[in-house]
Chains A and B, each alone.
Chain A
Amino acid sequence: DTGVSQDPRHKITKRGQNVTFRCDPISEHNRLYWYRQTLGQGPEFLTYFQNEAQLEKSRLLSDRFSAERPKGSFSTLEIQRTEQGDSAMYLCASSSPRTGGSTDTQYFGPGTRLTVL
């Protein structure tokens, strides 16, 4: 396993369009996180899953945002009716090996950079 992967790496869209990002975590990890990072700032938590259950959502996650992890493996983050303020790097991370090991260390993917024109 080569780590957390995200697709696409870059996305340019026009305001009002819908976009969907995908995250593939490290295969043995049962926790998956989404963060948003704007230029010059640290990542901000959006939501996280344990297996297929979405356990927490940030207030940052407006009703235009939805995340799923239907089979407890990969996850998707959809943004509907994008706004210019949605422009950011969207980071995915995973943790908690099912077979033991450190449960707290999060391993990050390369991110998807979204630009809304």
Chain B
Amino acid sequence: AQTVTQSQPEMSVQEAETVTLSCTYDTSENNYYLFWYKQPPSRQMILVIRQEAYKQQNATENRFSVNFQKAAKSFSLKISDSQLGDTAMYFCAFMIDTNAGKSTFGDGTTLTVKP
């Protein structure tokens, strides 16, 4: 069974600063996908960034980037130039492959961006 661990229940960062959220996972599979989702207070979950395990290059989406360490089974999210709108719960998720369908989620990190 796959597990996803987010060891930081809560984090805070000053506006315009950089913050890194940690995620580790456990699997015996070789082909899989990793995701970071954002869930703002009382709003729906949206995808922030995704990474295919077979790709060496770390994914980047504007201010969001990941540090994917396959051997260490680590998948951290870096948010640069933090904005007040980044305040949300962030979930790391794992999917074996597209045919498996389901995602396994961590318990989330609550990020607060302070003005």
**Segment of A20-28, A42-50, A70-78, A80-88 engaged in the interface with chain B:** A42-50
* Chain A proximity of B111: nearest CB distance (Å): 15
Q: Are B50 and A105 in contact (CB under 8 A)?
A: yes
Is B16 in the interface zone, CB < 8 Å from A? Answer: no
Q: Are A111 and B50 in contact (CB under 8 A)?
A: no
Could you say which residues of chain A place their CB within 8 Å of the CB of B95?
104
Q: Are A33 and B102 in contact (CB under 8 A)?
A: yes
Q: Are A45 and B106 in contact (CB under 8 A)?
A: no
Contact A42/B50 with A31-B101, A91-B45, A108-B45 known, Cβ cut-off 8 Å: no
Of the four ranges (under 10, 10 to 19, 20 to 34, 35 or more), the interface on chain B belongs to 20 to 34
List which B57-102 residues lie within 8 A (CB) of chain A.
91, 93, 95, 97-98, 101-102
> In the complex, A109→B43 CA distance in Å?
9
> In the complex, A106→B104 CA distance in Å?
12
Could you say which residues of chain A place their CB within 8 Å of the CB of B45?
43, 91, 108
Of the four ranges (under 10, 10 to 19, 20 to 34, 35 or more), the interface on chain A belongs to 20 to 34
Q: Are A104 and B50 in contact (CB under 8 A)?
A: yes
Contact A108/B102 with A42-B91, A42-B107, A42-B108 known, Cβ cut-off 8 Å: no
> Which of B35, B91, B105 has the most C-beta atoms of chain A within 10 angstroms of its own C-beta?
B105
Q: Are B47 and A45 in contact (CB under 8 A)?
A: no
Q: Which residues of A contact B (CB under 8 A)?
A: 31, 33, 35, 40-45, 48, 50, 55-56, 58, 91, 96, 103-111
